[in-house]
Amino acid sequence: MNIAILSANILTLFAFVLHTFVGDKELKVNEPSETSEDKFLKREKWTMARCGWHWISFDLLFASIGLALINFTNFFDNEKTLLQILTIYFLGYAIVWVITITISKQFPKNYLKLGQWILLLLISGLIYFGTNF
């Protein structure tokens, strides 16, 4: 068993659980009230954002399942290729996250308060390390 890949798997599963349940609760802070003037437009935009939020939740779940299959079974014929794809996948997420923070309006400690990019880089690095060393 590869400890680096197992660690990435645990972090990905943990991220899925937090993103799905704690994140959805936090997302509800932005839910529009029924008394707002343009309530249907705001409701549509909020629902779209929530759907996008849980799209990421699904990505985390699917990556966690894939890593678990690699860790605990011989399900895949070419595990190294899949791990290389996951390395790039999580690295890409981290890059997009940092770019989005950079082009958004600044607030104090925004790179740390929105530090999910650190987790994404860590997962990518663990998978890369576990695949190549």
Q: Which residues contact 60 (CB under 8 A, 6 or more apart)?
A: 12, 13, 15, 16, 19, 20
Boundaries of every domain in the chain: 3-29+36-132
Q: What is the pLDDT of residues 4-62, one digit of tens each?
A: 999 999 999 999 999 999 999 999 998 988 876 788 888 999 999 999 999 999 999 99
Q: What ranges in 28-115 are assigned the alpha helix state H? A: 39-72, 79-103, 110-113
The per-residue pLDDT for 109 is 96
Report the share of the chain in percent with pLDDT over 70: 99
Spatial contact of 127 and 8, defined as CB atoms under 8 Å apart:
yes
For the entire predicted model, the pTM comes to 0.92
